[in-house]
A and B are shown apart, each in its own frame.
Chain A
Amino acid sequence: MSSHAHDHDSSHSHKLPFWRKYIFSLDHKVIGVQYTVTSLVFLLLGFSLMMMMRWQLAYPGKPMPLIGNLFGDALMVGGIMLPEFYNQLGAMHGTIMIFLGVVPLAVGGFGNYVLPLQIGAPDMAFPKLNMMSYWSYFVGGVVMLSSFFVSGGSAQSGWTSYPPLSDIATSGQTVWLFGMVFLITSSLLGSVNFIVTTIQLRADGLSFWRLPFFVWAQFVTSFLLLLAFPPLEAAAVLQLMDRVAGTSFFLPSGLVVGGKILEASGGGNPVLWQHLFWFLAHPEVYVLILPAMGIVAEVLACNTRKPLYGYKAMVYSSIFLGFMSFIVWAHHMYLVGMSTTMSGFFQITTMIISIPSVVILTALLLSLWGASIRFNTPNLFAMAFLPMFGIGGLTGLPLGLAASDIHLHDTYYVIGHFHYVVAPGTIFALFAGIYHWFPKVTGRKMSEILGKIHFFFSFIFINGVFMPMFIQGLAGVSRRLYDPTQYAHALPTQPLNIVMSVSAWLLGLAQIPFIFNFFGSLFFGKKTGDNPWKATTLEWATPTPPPHGNFATPPVVYRGPYEYSVPGQKNDFWPQHMSGDN
């Protein structure tokens, strides 16, 4: 009966016209691929903005070669970048990378494609909401990009959009706020969908303690998105009112702009924005890192051929992490003049939240102990995640303590810290995920040779970009400087800017093998079966590529997610859906 139903459904899906099947699709797998491709394009775009900024930082005031003359006089004069354009690039780099690149790829892409498969569901709980969430994201992205073309250019108050600067900025900031409303809507719809799907649609026998860690990570992430984004939406509404309706929520009385007192009713408080913003943006950090940890856990367990070390401790840690992430936000704001009681509270919670992160990282590291490790491309990226995220996490501790933060606040040290978390941390994990699940999506493996070239060069150059930032930051060089050579204390570390910029451009070149690999392997990759990595979780139990409705028969789960190398079993992996001995 089941196979008949499946036949019926796949023939049904064939009848759908092209635009229903691939454009306005309701299938979580198509939507997942749409998210993945769109967000990869945005990642490349956000990275390109940064590569242009790195020219200005390495060679301030020199005309940009090759592409410098392509920009109008409002952006570059004679190929020399104007400060306004530098600020636009900086603000949009952060916005694009976080809200349009990494989160949509980690949650929208991997979450949508893999989570329903790993829990044995035919689709997400609300397919139409799922489609709306992608298109809302897409519209938000288009709105964000369109802001480059309004008069005065795009938003230029940083990705944090701190008022009063953002309240009085050019109209690009209004477009930024509208774009954020679309992106927040997309996140909310997506997170509701993930929570309901995980609670309601797990296959028979798949209890919560049998869920793969990736599903747990996405589940906790969804709660963070659900509860942390609305306060930013509130803040965006207030800032929009400030800019459009002339209110003064974030404008204090007597604000002087350009030597004149600003005509506004006043009485507002710029720090209010910071509270509302960081109430989102600190949980957002865990939105960036938890799915990455989930991917690394899946890839490591499969490629070490042994169960994860401390699976339950990891799950408890991620839940605890989720709760704690809501009460640490003000550690971004030690310098606004808060009381010592307040900063004391936030220092303690910040030190506490580092514990579960360390538990998860340690468990992943100990998973390597005594394993027969496969050194394939996905696992190289996953293993590189461990020390890179370790550096990113540990360098965060001095920022969480008010005394050391006074020196390090808003310096390049901060930039180095969070980029280690997000770039060689999260993005490496995302690459691991792409190489790992590519055979399931397409039925073909990506090239190992190109993959290893991509990995080793990316690994070297990405450290070349971010490691010197710690040195610059400790020397006191501020972030968001248009021309660092204007400051005497920044001159000794100026040669490092050239190292970092060259590394960034070479890092850009190192992505070319990946792009070739990604598209080339669609057509020329080695064909694989349903379970090329000999993995245990449910997504490998579907036909490849999975048809509409995913499973030929509804799967039943008999055991935990990581039954590798079980003594007494013939094979070294024991899939979750296999009823008897292996």
Chain B
Amino acid sequence: MSAEIRYISKPHPVSGLTNSKLGIWCFLASEVMLFGGLFSAYILLRTSAVEWPQGASRLNVPLATLNTLILIISSVTMVMSWASLAMKEFGKYRKYMGATVLLGFLFLVVKSFEYGHKFSHHHFPSTDMFYALYFTLTGLHGLHVIGGIIVNLYFLFPGSALWHKDPEQFTGRIEAAGLYWHFVDLVWIFLFPVLYLL
């Protein structure tokens, strides 16, 4: 079979990885550099500022704590959805994946309340450097959450047809989607203390 691409569902004997798993790790490495660049910008701008407000004095810490919990729970349900597939329980997979998507939406709803509250008090990205960084960093993170929800929705509905053709490959895809979702979660774990607490 010359025209078949190898290691789509079975791992490479030497690297021990499927193509999609290696691919998602490479992608996450580039994402680390993206947010690394932004966090470096944050450090440089903050250290060169004359004064810097304390995050808690400007932002809503309880709401952000709630959001942190929501994302952490969604990471757990994401793992459970993958584990369900590994145990060949497709019905459970759908429940856990559905919960992950709902929790993702819930995060965005809470976030939009936070944004709306800021806008109603005339706090915009153009107000000062603190709000500029706050809106840019959380906004970019929000875009990543939206991207993750779209991917998860795809695997919840049309993409899940693959389960009946090649369960191994589908499980691999959910693992890759899960790795991405954990990364989005992890970025928030960094953003929360940096913006709200420090």
Residues of A that sit less than 8 Å from B by CB? 1-2, 5-6, 9, 121-123, 125-127, 129, 188, 191-193, 195-196, 199-201, 226-231, 233-235, 237-238, 241, 245-249, 264-265, 267-269, 272, 275-276, 279, 548-554
Contacts and interface: CB of A to CB of B under 8 A. Distances in A.
B66 to A, nearest CB: 26
Contacts of B17: 200
B16 to A, nearest CB: 11
Contacts, number: 150
B119 interface: no
Contacts of A268: 45, 129
A485 to B, nearest CB: 41
Contact of A195 (B26, B34, B36, B125): B26
A553 B30 CA distance: 36
B136 A5 contact: no
Given A226-B26, A226-B29, A230-B34, A247 B125 contact: yes
Interface in B1-24: 1-7, 12, 15, 17, 19, 22-23
A249 B37 contact: no
12 contacts: A191-B30, A195-B22, A196-B19, A199-B15, A200-B6, A230-B36, A230-B37, A235-B41, A237-B136, A246-B125, A249-B41, A265-B128
B2 A238 contact: no
Given A6-B3, A230-B30, A238-B136, 20 more contacts: A2-B2, A9-B3, A122-B3, A123-B3, A125-B5, A125-B19, A127-B5, A196-B22, A199-B12, A200-B6, A234-B34, A234-B41, A241-B136, A246-B124, A247-B125, A247-B126, A248-B132, A265-B127, A267-B49, A269-B45
B41 A238 contact: yes
A548 B40 CA distance: 46
A193 B26 CA distance: 9
Given A200-B7, A272-B44, A230 B125 contact: no
Which 6 interchain pairs have the tightest Cβ spacing? A549-B3, A246-B126, A234-B37, A231-B37, A230-B34, A247-B132
A1 B50 CA distance: 73
Contacts of B23: 125-126, 129, 192-193, 196
A534 B115 CA distance: 66
Contacts of A230: 30-31, 33-34, 36-37
Contacts of B140: 237
B26 A191 contact: yes
B37 A276 contact: yes
A552 B36 contact: no
Nearest to A263: B126
B154 interface: no
A270 B12 CA distance: 47
B27 interface: yes
Contact of B5 (A9, A123, A195, A199): A123
A267 B1 CA distance: 62
B2 A122 contact: yes
B189 interface: no
Contacts of B33: 226-231
Interface in B112-153: 124-129, 132, 135-136, 140
Given A126-B23, A188-B30, A226-B29, A265 B2 contact: no
Contacts of A275: 40, 44
A272 B45 contact: yes
Contacts of A2: 1-2
Contacts of A191: 26, 30
B38 interface: yes
A273 B124 CA distance: 22
Contacts of B57: none
A305 B26 CA distance: 38
Contacts of B19: 125-126, 196, 200
B124 A245 contact: yes
Contacts of A9: 2-3
Contacts of B41: 234-235, 238, 249, 272, 276
Contacts of B15: 199-200
Interface in B142-188: none
A227 B32 CA distance: 9
A201 B128 contact: no
Contacts of B27: 188, 192
B49 A553 contact: no
A233 B143 CA distance: 14
Given A5-B2, A192-B26, A272-B45, A231 B34 contact: yes
A125 B19 CA distance: 7
Nearest to A326: B33
B132 A5 contact: no
Nearest to A225: B30
Contacts of B31: 230
A528 B89 CA distance: 57
A199 B3 contact: no
B128 A267 contact: yes
B37 A122 contact: no
A279 B125 contact: no
A263 to B, nearest CB: 10
A126 B22 CA distance: 11
A275 B22 CA distance: 30
A252 B125 CA distance: 16
B162 to A, nearest CB: 14
B6 to A, nearest CB: 6
A235 B136 CA distance: 11
Best-surrounded residue of B4, B23, B35 (most CB of chain A within 10 A): B23
Contacts of B44: 269, 272, 275
A267 B45 CA distance: 8
Contacts of B128: 265, 267
Nearest to B8: A125
A129 B95 CA distance: 30
B136 A248 contact: no
